[in-house]
Amino acid sequence: PLGEQLIGVKVFVKEGSDASLPCSLTEDVTAALFDWRKVAHGDQQQKEVFFHQAASHYNNGLRGQNEEFKGRVSFFEDELKHGNASIVIRNAKMADDGNYTCAFPLLQTPQIFYVELVVGEALDAGGDRSLLHCEVRGASPEPKVEWQDGHGNPLPAEAQVSETGSGYDVTVNVTVNKTDLYRCVVEQEAIKHRIAAETFVHICGEVSSL
């Protein structure tokens, strides 16, 4: 639809762990309709992952959820009033790998968030380090994108920005060497929009100080 806002991130998660897929607005979405789907590949059909409208959703009797996701998807009910429509897919499988959309089709300006979930056996990029990748596509106005560690400290990284017909594509890669929870933060200050994608990295052979 004309005026539709598009933003996307890529989330890496280790097989067997929980995958957090980010989607949020700056307004209360307690009564909103938002629909999470896994995007089709080839001749496959789109799969219904999670649907919410007012007090009805797939976790309280609403029908239509794809069998692959039944009993595995949770959302942040207490945070809906803050605009958080993110979901968590528990015990991520290789079959969960792929592209997802979170759509708010009934807003005055419809919004769609794109999340690419990459599920792998390990995140290691050499045993004692790991490469983290965050990508935003077609965002307008131009967003600020950065990786943060578990304490909220920004990690030094150079963003690669390219302007497209629909907005800006931004990619930020960073190599880490510590076990931690890392967060890719996307901010568009002009429209007061902010989302974040989290991923936990375990560095093989590291002795935890926790």
50: CATH: 2.60.40.10
Does 206 reside within a domain? Answer: no
Cβ density class 95-125: b for 16+ within 10 Å, e for less: ebbbebbbbbeebeeebbbbbbbbbeeebbe
pLDDT at 85: 92
Global pTM value: 0.70
Report the C-alpha gap between 206 and 7 in whole angstroms. 35
Domain count, the chain: 1
CA angle, 155 as apex, 149 and 161 as ends, to 5°?
125
Query: Is there a domain that residue 157 lies in?
Result: yes
Q: 126 lies in which domain range?
A: 5-201
Residue 77 forms part of a structural domain? yes
Residue 208 in domain = no
Summarised one tens digit per residue, pLDDT across range 158-188 is 899 999 887 888 889 888 888 888 888 888 8
Position 34 scores a pLDDT of: 96
Looking at the domain assignment, is residue 210 inside a domain? no
Give residue-wise pLDDT tens across range 118-127: 887 654 444 4
What does the pLDDT average to over 106-127? 73
Is 103 within a domain? yes
